Amino acid sequence: MYKRLSYNLNDQAPGWPNNPKIELKPKGLISTGGSSNSYLVTLFNHFGSHMDAPKHFNDDGPAIAELPFDRFIFHKPLLLDIPKSFKEGVMPEDLMPHAEKIGEADLLMIRSGFSQYRETDPDRYSKEGPYVSSDACRYLMDHFKNLSGLAVDWVSLASPSNNDGKLAHQHLLKNYDHFVTIIEDIDMRGLKQETLRKVFSIPLFIDGIDSSPVTVFAEIAT
């Protein structure tokens, strides 16, 4: 069976503070005399569940549509529960006890539990989320060459509450020979590592852009 992990897109969903969201404009509606329903969708590419490619922090890095298709399919996902609350960071010492398992994974999924605030307190979810520290990102890049993706259950790898996010993104994305794509703002509630088989993160294949909203789903053993 399959379980979708990405959120629906709507203009009420939280995003990075002051960034655009999504805008829908009807271009034709049956209810107003049109022959069919159609919409113009204006969508910021870092809104909602989305995936960062190297071009996000490396002008010479590949854009999202230039990545090999196998970079969107993860055959050895690892789900780690690392509880974090407002403004708290994932540090190397949070990851070190799991080094052996991370070494076997191609996707590291960090479940902080912070997704509970996406609906109950969207303003703080947007502005005061956890983050993965630059030291933790450097630790992952230095020790786990099989890792190709990192997913988090909050709004961004970074947090508006500190200035560490730029360096954290750079550690994961700037090296063209080995980079780790970043999947942000996904829903890991209800997942169990023992039944998790594969994860798919499928973007909009728009030429030239650094990131894209993604449909993320997991294959679950029954």
Structure confidence at residue 18 (pLDDT): 95
Look at the pTM and tell me if it is higher than 0.85.
yes
Q: Residue 134 falls within a domain, yes or no?
A: yes
pLDDT digit string, tens, across residues 21-35:
999 999 999 999 999
Q: Residue 12 falls within a domain, yes or no?
A: no
Structure confidence at residue 164 (pLDDT): 96
Contact between 3 and 218 under an 8 Å Cβ cutoff? The reply is yes
| Gap between the Cα atoms of 181 and 170, Å rounded | 11
Q: Residue 14 falls within a domain, yes or no?
A: no
Q: What is the mean pLDDT of residues 9-17?
A: 96
Contact between 180 and 207 under an 8 Å Cβ cutoff? The reply is no
Long-range contacts of 63-69, Cβ-Cβ distance < 8 Å, separation of 24 or more: 63/207, 63/208, 63/209, 63/210, 64/203, 64/205, 64/206, 64/209, 64/210, 64/211, 64/212, 65/203, 65/205, 65/206, 65/207, 65/208, 65/209, 65/212, 67/181
How many CA atoms are closer than 13 Å to the CA of 78, on its beta-carbon side? 20
Q: Residue 22 falls within a domain, yes or no?
A: no
Q: Residue 109 falls within a domain, yes or no?
A: yes
Q: Which range of residues forms the domain containing residue 141?
A: 2-6+45-220
- Per-residue confidence at 175, pLDDT binned at 50, 70, 90? confident
Query: Rg of the Cα trace of the chain?
Result: 18
Q: Residue 118 falls within a domain, yes or no?
A: yes
Does position 176 have pLDDT exceeding 90, yes or no?
Answer: no
Q: Residue 186 falls within a domain, yes or no?
A: yes
Structure confidence at residue 142 (pLDDT): 96
pLDDT digit string, tens, across residues 49-90:
999 999 999 999 999 999 999 999 999 999 999 999 999 999
Average pLDDT value over all residues in the chain: 97
Q: What is the mean pLDDT of residues 132-140?
A: 98
How many domains does one find in the chain? Answer: 1
